[in-house]
Every structure is written in structure tokens, then in C-alpha cells.
Amino acid sequence: MAPSATETATIPSRPVVTLTTNTGPYKELAPIGYEKEAELEGKNGFHAAKYKNYLPTWGSERYPPLEPFQHRDHGLDADPTYQELLAPGVITNDLTPTIGTEVTGVQLSKLSNAGKDQLARFVAERKVVAFRDQDFADLPITEAVEFGRYFGRLHIHPTSGAPEGYPEVHLVHRGAGDKTAEAFFETRTSSVAWHSDVTYELQPPGTTFLYILDVPETGGDTLFANQVEAYNRLSPGFQERLHGLKATHSGIEQVEASKGKNGAVRREPVISEHPVVRTHPVTGEKALYVNPQFTRSIVGYKREESEVLLKFLYDHVAYGADFQARVKWAPKTVVVWDNRVTSHSALVDWKSGQRRHLARITPQAEAPYETPFKA
């Protein structure tokens, strides 16, 4: 769906804000775009994409700053017995006790609005859910976009590739001829990069959809961490200390990385302040809400103080294998997760020369808020 004329208005330049941080530059492995795909197809064993309509393009569109909007989570209206989503015959398999479930036997694209409400609530409770044997990739892109729009205003990513005419679809694509990972590992030891998506926005994502288009033979899994359980593992005294704190989240580094590759910049970068502990509007659960990709500093703390606290929280999540889940991709899989209460990382570990291609639809949710601490 093409953006409206008002959405494509050129926005004035803003002064660049320089942030001091030891978290390092935003880590992004550059993808191969549609034009390069056309050059490589059929050469040196390069296999064409199964879904060419989902190959990434980068236009010259410019969008105005995002405006606040009212968001009501549909999980608040859901039947908690899940009569439609988990009807008789639907099979569920929990990946771990606290996070992750695999589901077969229900077709997401056929859900009624009541079923979508149940989906929002179920994902909020299980944090990440892998739905197998789905038809999302084969739907007209318009239908997939409209399905996602039910859950909130769709985010248009400031730098990523998108299918031609559908800027609301964020593409995760590494083509069969892409060798950038080899160069990346010449200077880095790991591709793990824990984050929640675009937390620099004033209203970051909630219920989020990622569906597979091309999958490597093995590898390319996605790790998810339960930020609620990460909070719950902390001592009451430490939890109380975190309440009332806010942290800055920056989109500047992501935009600068795109500029460094002569990539797209669709919207000027922003910095937002969010509570370090946020509350989920449906479950009432409290979750840590910081991540090393976008969080930059604790508001009101000196640099050294901020870095010590943030490093502890990052390490706490990264080492928490007992509140993490690993989702293995398979054809026709749609993974739905709640970006408010999880963090995740893709794994760049598959055999060189194989394609990994996914599409993400990213509804925005409410501005993060916290509720009072209770011991």
C-alpha cells in the first residue's frame, strides 16, 4: 500500500545529537538489494528467491516525524479461554515453562477479530509463539499488511529495505550470494545482538509478526529472552531501585550506519526516554526495558554509573539461558512475539551461500509506562 501524500512530505533537517556511549555502534549486516539479486540470478550456483515480490527495495521517500496516537491493546478484549485461537484440534507445545510456544492447527489469516484479540492476549502471556503451516507468505502483501494493522499503527522502518510499494513491511534478507557475514566475522566473534525493535520510538512495537520466505537448510534461528522473568529474578531491593529510572533510547546510530552504506534514511532519527521497568497493559506484568542496541544511558546518572548498571542488566538478560527460548525456522512459519516484554537476536550461523529471507510487520503500541513497585 503506497503512502499518502502527507506521509511522503520532505521534512526539515534537524541538528545531529551526539551521544557518548560504550555500547558500540549499531551492528547491522548489510543485505543484498533487488538490483544486485537480478545481476546474480543464475550465476555461480546462485538460487533465486522463492518470493521475488518480497525482495528489498530502497526508495527515496522521506517521512515526517511520527505523531502520538491512542492505542488500546486488543488483548484487553480477548476471551481468556481462547475458544477460537486454541479450538479443539489445535496442538500447542511449550518450548520452555516461561517463554515460547509452538502452535499447529490454526490458520492466523482466517481468524475473526475475536480470534485476533485472543492472539494478542496469548502472545502477551507466552511472550513468543511460533505458528506452523501458515499461508502468510502466499497471501497478497496487501492482505498481510491489513492483518497486521488490526494490532496497531504500522511502523515504517527508517532504514531497512521493503517490498516495492509496501514500506510498512520490514525485510530481513541475506541472499544466496551474500558474503558480508564472512567479512563481519573477521573482526567480530559473535553475531548475537540482543534488542527489542526500534525502542527509540516514542511508541515502540507491541504484538509483532515475522514470517519466513526462504530458510537455510539449518541455522539462522532466533533467540528470545523473557524480560518479565529477567525482572522477576532480581531481588526486591534491586527491583525497587530500578523503579522510577528512565533511560534514553537512540535511533541515531542506526541511521548513521545506513548513511555509511549509502543506504536509505526515510525519517530523521529520534531519541526517546522510557522507564527502565515497564508494565504490560494486558497482563500487568513488569518487564525490564533496556537493550544494548538502542539504550544509551540512564537519565540523571553519570556516565560511569549508567554504564555499570546497564552492563549488569544486559549481561543478566544475555546469560539468562533459563528464561530464553530458541525458535527454529521452518517453511510456512509465522512467529508472533510481544516486543514490550521480550528481547531477541538472530543468529548468523548458517552455511555461506544459502538464503535467509523474512518479512516483519510491526504494529506500534502504547508509550511505555510503569506502575508502582510492589514487594
Residue holding cell 538489494? Answer: 33
Using a 10 angstrom Cβ sphere, with 0-12 exposed, 13-18 middle and 19 or more buried, the burial of residue 197 is buried
**Can 195 be counted among the known catalytic residues?**
yes
Amino acid at 154: L
C-alpha cell of residue 319: 546469560
Q: Which of 74, 195, 266, 340 is catalytic?
A: 195
Q: Which of 197, 214, 274, 278 is catalytic?
A: 197
**Can 326 be counted among the known catalytic residues?**
no
**Can 74 be counted among the known catalytic residues?**
no
**Can 155 be counted among the known catalytic residues?**
no
Q: Which of 25, 23, 18 is nearest to 309 (CA)?
A: 23
Amino acid at 321: A
3-state SS, 128-172, equals: EEEECCCCHHHCCHHHHHHHHHCCCCECCCCCCCECCCCCCEEEE
Which residues lie below 8 Å from residue 228, measured CB to CB, with a gap of 6+? Answer: 98, 127, 280, 285, 286, 287, 341
d(CA 151, CA 153): 7
d(CA 37, CA 56): 10
Catalytic residues: 195, 197, 344, 360
